[in-house]
Chain A
Amino acid sequence: MDRLSPQRTSLSDAYSALADEAEATAEARLPEPQGAAEMRDLLPAIEPDRRLDDWGRSERVEGAMDRTLYEFFYRYWFRAEVEGVENVPAEGGALLVSNHSGALPPDAAMIAKAIREEHSSPRPLYLTVEHFFKGYPGFSMLIPKIGGVAAHPANVHRLLYDERQLVLVFPEGRKGTEKLYKDRYRLRRFGRGGFVEAAIRAEAKLVPLCVVGAEEAAPIFAQVPALKRLTGLIYFPLTPTFPWLGPLGMLGYLPAKFKIRFLEPIDTAELGGADAVHDKALVQTVSQEIRARIQENLHEMVAARRSVWFG
């Protein structure tokens, strides 16, 4: 302790800067966000030897699923028919907005498969999934590996804005998958339009799309709230196969004919740039418009359909 001296010199230059720093206010504690291009360059480089990406997505697991289960359902079971796939942009971030249904919804996987099969430049699709999956053992492991990410605004923003990927959202959320067979093809509320905000903030295109067939493939006849509480699941539906065949009954889809229609994209850049995020009225209007367009097209597609099973 006796080695320190109170008399120090040569520090005046170090202190002269003190005055300049008075302007450094508390605000300055959080560094300003950098330019988009600059920050994109700083994204971690892809390590070719890795089997997973930073989201936990595994090409190997996804590829295996794609070649077996998805292939079977897409080609032979649901015999999916796709129109307007060219509305999905070949590059840049885009947010796909779809109607949603089914106890364990098959729609997301079929949309991803449709883009992979039919698009001129196939791109991976990230599916937003409610974060409940992270609490279920098994699901928590599998869902990220096949391209699912938790539906958190920050995740959607990073995917769309920084990584410029395709992201699929179901704005109806759980309200869509909970709905009963008698309410089929009636869109639920689109929440507070968070998905529109996300797209505007990320300057990404919005691509509405309709799926017909999923409602009949996995119809829900009733919900049993008592069993839901007992099992701790997010809902407890009665379907043709669940719970009668156990948990695997969730996969017991009926062979309804699938039709997927991608609609004209909406360019959020034309809505007035990033400032439009704060315009709640605009966000709501866009959200309503997308909902109306999906509903309209669903009605049209259902009206044109002669048979649930053969299209």
Chain B
Amino acid sequence: MSGAELVRSEPSRRVLVTGLSTYWGGRLAQALEGFEQIEAIIGVDSREPTLELERTEYVKVSNRHSLLQRIVRAAEIDTVIDTRMVVNSLTASPRFAHENNVIGTMNILAACTGQDSPVRKFIFKSSTQYYGSEQDDPAFFTERMRRPHPPRTMIERDVVEAEDAVAEFADKHPAVSVTLLRCANVLGPDVETGFTRMLALPLVPMAFGFDPRLQFIHEDDVVHALEHAALHRLPGTFNVAADGVLALSEAISLVGRRALPLLPPVGAGLLAAPLRRLGFRVPDEMASLLRFGRGVDNRLFKATGFRYGYTSRETLIRLGEHMRLEPILRTRAGEDGYHYEREVEEFLRWSPHVRRERGGDGVAADREPLGI
């Protein structure tokens, strides 16, 4: 099969974005709003959206199956994009992470099933944590590889379980195109991940005697990748990671910080408590990454026509620039930064000047009750 055959341009029309209030859900909804072909974007989450949205419908709902399924059917959703995966154990309790990553995924998948389900495309944002990070890893994981050892941390276990659920769904529903995107460690000015926190420290701790190979991706490229999946038909699993695998020391010098080879190579657990006092916590899933690193083969996704905006190196240079600018921007934000005003948005959303009317059969969002 050649690349051209593999990729069919097939934009989604009615999209459901899960986790609208998370960073990725919000960014993705914003991005999708710009595409004329997409006639409706519905975002679900249990909290209010945090980003400014123009024509995205927000439905306040948790990951509960029955409600989701009714929304999917009532709104005739053809594409579900699942962006809720929690991949940093510091941002959520293990219990919430499991509930969200595994149970939540199952519920969302269940909402897409059923004989007359309108869903034809399912896009799932996963993580390269699927592969783990071990001593006997290959230097570049390809999509066909499985991790050599069972997962060791809660988050990795969640990722594997969630992916298994998605794979099972794909097997059972051959008519639905299931795209699974495994994103590398994300960096960027707005997103907060274990690595952005770590690189923001004046002295960046490294495991003594180790210089792991790491691959990153810019936050914008993640959004574009999800967008690319929404605009094309890409069944399969893809690694989403920028070109270039960097050594951690290289990454640290690119953002203009200094490395501090301080973490002991073994038994980092002993140092965890004093480090936490200093305000630095190493998430479990990062501990082995700081020794063995991880690289992935990103060519398959590029073969579908996707082009990354940044290499790993450029991502870090941009992040460095942002970190130097941030103290200046931060003071200004207090004066004239953007404040989210719900009432204004409500008004604008239904104002005839803002609504985007489509020709013919009145495709713009309706206001009739859903009846649930």
Contacts and interface: CB of A to CB of B under 8 A. Distances in A.
Interface of A: 1-11, 14-15, 17-18, 21-26, 28-32, 34-35, 38-39, 42-45, 47, 49-52, 54-56, 131-132, 134-141, 144-145, 149-150, 152-155, 158
B175 A2 contact: no
Given A14-B13, A21-B175, A54-B244, A1 B6 contact: no
A24 B313 CA distance: 38
Nearest to A45: B243
B370 A4 contact: yes
B366 interface: yes
B209 A26 contact: no
Contacts of B295: 54
Contact of B78 (A6, A11, A21, A55): A11
A154 B140 contact: yes
Contact of B291 (A17, A25, A49, A140): A140
B251 to A, nearest CB: 11
Contacts of B298: 44
Contact of A52 (B10, B120, B210, B246): B246
Give chain B's interface secondary structure class. Answer: loop
B33 interface: no
Contacts of A137: 207-210, 265
Contacts of B284: none
B303 A8 contact: no
Interface in B114-157: 118, 120, 135-140, 142-145
21 contacts: A2-B368, A6-B73, A6-B74, A8-B14, A8-B76, A21-B174, A24-B174, A31-B1, A31-B235, A31-B303, A32-B1, A32-B6, A34-B3, A38-B2, A44-B243, A45-B243, A52-B247, A56-B245, A135-B135, A136-B209, A152-B139
A21 B138 contact: no
A56 B13 CA distance: 44
Contacts of B177: 21, 24
B178 A29 contact: yes
A28 B233 CA distance: 12
B270 to A, nearest CB: 16
Q: Which among A23, A134, A153 has the highest number of chain B CB atoms within 10 Å?
A: A134
A26 B170 contact: yes
Contacts of B42: 4
A24 B235 contact: yes
A47 B136 contact: no
A5 B313 contact: no
Contact of A138 (B13, B209, B300, B361): B209
